[in-house]
Amino acid sequence: MRIRYIRRPHAGLSGKVYLLDLDNTLHHASTHILPEINRQMTHYLAEHLELDPQRASELRTQYWLRYGATLLGMMRHHQTNPHHFLASTHRFEGLKKLSSRHGSVPHRLSKLPGLRIMLTNAPRAYAVALCKEMGLYRHLHAIIAIEDMVVHQTWRPKPANILWPNLKSKLKGKRALLVDDTFGHLEQAARHGIQTSWITFPGLGFKPRQLTGKVKHRIRQFEAIRTAKF
């Protein structure tokens, strides 16, 4: 597993690490971007597995629910090249028009008093392009994209159980907080001693649920991340 640094943190930075998801955490993705990614993935499955669109959509969802990422199902059952799949299913023209930043996220991000690492199941090229469009890239210290989450030569993106102890070893004992919109990711991280904050924006259509187990902190806007204690 690799942490790819954009810039090295300065010496006076606190020992805290903010692990920040991308889609629906740093920006609103449900309105335009995620539906388009789902459409592209469905088209990929239909074309490469010779399926009708409905069956391709069902299989895409089935793999996502079972493995946490459609990509993993494609690799396991169809020997799909992961780099080809990611490049083919994250093609966008005019990302700036599709993305919707909430609040003053770049300013708030720059004020977080610790190491700021994006931890996303999205491919690196998409994550970097989107962050540059939204003015976020220059405020991050590092990006861990799905291509970096390889443990023992096997792709292990969120929420894989083996991911978290490997990540903690890379952070060398620093206190870490995961901010993510996917509850299952938070649950797995919390089991390994990583503090968590569940971000749920109003109007995105998520079903209401209660906080359970070790996931005890919820925010509804990015600036509230500073209220998390870790």
- Mean pLDDT value across residues 83-90: 97
pLDDT value for 163 = 97
Instruction: Mean pLDDT check: name the lowest of 14-28, 97-111, 162-176, 207-221.
Output: 97-111
**Location of structure tokens 């925010």:** 219
pLDDT tens track for 28-76: 888 889 999 999 999 999 999 999 999 999 999 999 999 989 999 999 9
- Mean pLDDT value across residues 190-203: 89
**Location of structure tokens 């509804």:** 220
pLDDT value for 203 = 66
Average pLDDT, whole number, for the chain?
A: 91
pLDDT tens track for 162-189: 999 999 999 988 999 999 999 999 999 9
Residue type, 203: G
pTM for the full predicted model: 0.92
| Closest to 195 measured CA to CA, from 3, 2, 13, 19 | 19
Residue spans of alpha helices (H) in the chain: 33-49, 53-67, 70-78, 82-89, 95-98, 105-110, 124-133, 163-171, 183-191
Whether 81 shows a pLDDT value over 90: the answer reads yes
pLDDT band for position 229 (cuts 50, 70, 90) = confident
pLDDT value for 206 = 63
Dihedral (Cα; 119, 122, 128, 130), 10-degree rounding: -110
pLDDT value for 55 = 98
What letters, b where the CB count within 10 A reaches 16 and e where it falls short, cover 132-163?
A: ebbebbebbbbbbbbbbbbeeeebbbbbbeeb
